[in-house]
């Protein structure tokens, strides 16, 4: 009953991701279509895994046939669940479209070793196969951890608002998947481990639904493609146009462009008439990220609005002033405020002249 329930839940979650157009968990977020498809594919693979395991368990009697069926089902699990989980994790990274062919190539040894086993009934290939899968998963895990850290820096350099864009918590999905792999490897040791595997799958389904539904599609704000010759010329040059600073003061700070919600580096570069790579290098030269620059301006704007409201004895809320200062959400504002001022919003408001 538990396996059947998990199977139905996996199918329902996959169909939900494939066919529901609007988000249910975060209605104001437009999640990436590519991610929804990969996550749905993984959930369907999980459901199929339960189906063929139940078929094998209930239709085979002899010990020899059971052993053959066991390895056939394990092979099917590896070639369906492993690549779809890898594709799901890669689809969460939206700084560029990462190719999937390396994942396919990495599975060729699995096909080769499995083929040797099924054709020759050679049990000696089982240990190398397990070792290879372990090494493959460890290497992919290290890659994802590195890629997520790099992706976080890319977001800081290109987006002022990180709400629903950060994916560090997606490492939790990776961790639950690793737990799933460890339990799966030992699922033939007893009924308790089998139950733990089902619990882990339930957690994984919930985490995937939450992560997919709360991750914002970034394609609309993606950086424009550069001409290769222009990119090479800029890479060879150490000079940054001297007018970027004055242009920022005139067209961003004086014009209060920073009040625009979801303002990206590419949009700002276009407004001041420069290349986004030059602008990014300018901020790096100042020891800033684009996120820190824009949100610093917004915090100073908030402080001005606060003092004006107090002097005019107007009724206001910090949430209202934060939104008027360009922040899309109060949680982002509160985190930025503490980073800039070293104080929480409530502590600062008790003594704003300190």
pLDDT for res 97? 86
Using the 8-state DSSP alphabet, how is residue 351 labeled?
S
Q: Which one, of 33, 10, 11, lies nearest residue 22 by Cα?
A: 33
Last residue of some domain: 172, 193, 218?
218
pLDDT for res 219? 65
Same domain, 122 and 245: no
Same domain, 186 and 252: no
Contact yes or no for 31/22 (Cβ under 8 A): no
Q: Specify whether the backbone of 172 is left (phi greater than 0), alpha (psi in -120 to 50) or beta.
A: alpha
Same domain, 8 and 130: yes
pLDDT for res 74? 87
CA distance readout (Å), 200 to 19, 56, 179: 25, 22, 7
Last residue of some domain: 218, 236, 266?
218
Per-residue pLDDT of the chain (354 residues; tens, 9 = 90+): 788 888 999 999 999 999 987 788 888 888 999 999 999 999 999 999 988 888 877 776 666 667 778 888 889 999 999 999 999 999 999 988 899 999 999 999 999 999 888 888 778 888 999 999 999 999 999 999 999 999 999 999 999 888 888 888 888 989 999 888 888 877 666 678 878 888 889 999 999 999 999 999 986 444 444 544 554 454 444 567 778 999 999 999 999 999 998 889 999 999 999 888 889 999 999 899 999 999 999 999 999 999 999 999 889 899 999 999 999 888 889 989 998 989 999 999 888 765
Same domain, 202 and 248: no
Same domain, 198 and 236: no
Q: Which one, of 305, 232, 218, lies nearest residue 266 by Cα?
A: 218
Q: Is residue 248 part of a domain?
A: yes
CA atoms within 13 A on the CB side of 113: 21
Same domain, 187 and 284: no
Same domain, 212 and 306: no
Domain span including residue 240: 228-350
Same domain, 210 and 143: yes
Same domain, 207 and 63: yes
Last residue of some domain: 218, 244, 278?
218
Q: Is residue 139 part of a domain?
A: yes
Q: Which one, of 34, 72, 32, lies nearest residue 56 by Cα?
A: 72
d(CA 80, CA 110): 12
Same domain, 154 and 47: yes
Q: Is residue 223 part of a domain?
A: no
Same domain, 173 and 47: yes
Same domain, 234 and 213: no
Q: Is residue 53 part of a domain?
A: yes
Q: 264 phi and psi, to 5 degrees?
A: -105, 165
Q: What is the CATH number of the domain that holds 332?
A: 1.10.10.60
């Amino acid at each position: 009953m538990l396996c059947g329930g998990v199977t139905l839940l996996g199918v329902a979650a996959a169909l939900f991701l494939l066919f529901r157009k609007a988000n249910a968990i975060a209605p104001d977020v437009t999640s990436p279509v590519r991610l929804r498809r990969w996550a749905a594919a993984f959930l369907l693979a999980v459901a199929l895994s339960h189906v063929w395991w139940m078929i094998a368990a209930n239709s085979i009697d002899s010990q020899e046939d059971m052993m053959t069926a066991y390895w056939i089902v394990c092979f099917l699990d590896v070639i369906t669940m492993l690549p779809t989980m890898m594709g799901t994790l890669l689809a969460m990274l939206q700084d560029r479209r990462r190719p999937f062919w390396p994942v396919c190539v990495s599975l060729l040894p699995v096909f080769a070793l499995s083929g040797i086993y099924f054709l020759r009934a050679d049990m000696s290939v089982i240990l190398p196969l397990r070792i290879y899968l372990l090494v493959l998963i460890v290497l992919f895990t290290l890659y994802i951890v590195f890629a997520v850290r790099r992706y976080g820096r890319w977001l800081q350099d290109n987006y002022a608002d990180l709400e629903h864009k950060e994916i560090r918590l997606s490492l939790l999905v990776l961790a639950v998947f690793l737990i799933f792999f460890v339990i799966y490897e030992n699922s033939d040791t007893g009924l308790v481990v089998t139950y733990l595997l089902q619990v882990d799958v339930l957690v994984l389904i919930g985490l995937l639904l939450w992560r997919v539904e709360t991750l914002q599609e970034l394609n609309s704000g993606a950086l424009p493609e550069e001409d290769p010759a222009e990119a090479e010329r800029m890479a060879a040059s150490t000079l940054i146009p001297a007018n970027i600073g004055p242009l920022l003061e005139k067209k961003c700070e004086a014009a209060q462009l920073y009040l625009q919600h979801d303002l990206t580096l590419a949009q700002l570069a276009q407004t001041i008439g420069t290349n986004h790579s030059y602008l990014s290098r300018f901020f790096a030269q100042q020891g800033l990220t684009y996120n820190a620059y824009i949100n610093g301006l917004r915090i100073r704007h908030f402080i001005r609005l606060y003092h004006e409201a107090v002097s005019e004895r107007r009724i206001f809320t910090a949430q209202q002033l934060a939104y008027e200062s360009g922040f899309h959400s109060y949680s982002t504002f509160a985190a930025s405020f503490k980073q800039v001022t070293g104080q929480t919003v409530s502590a600062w408001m008790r003594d704003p002249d300190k």
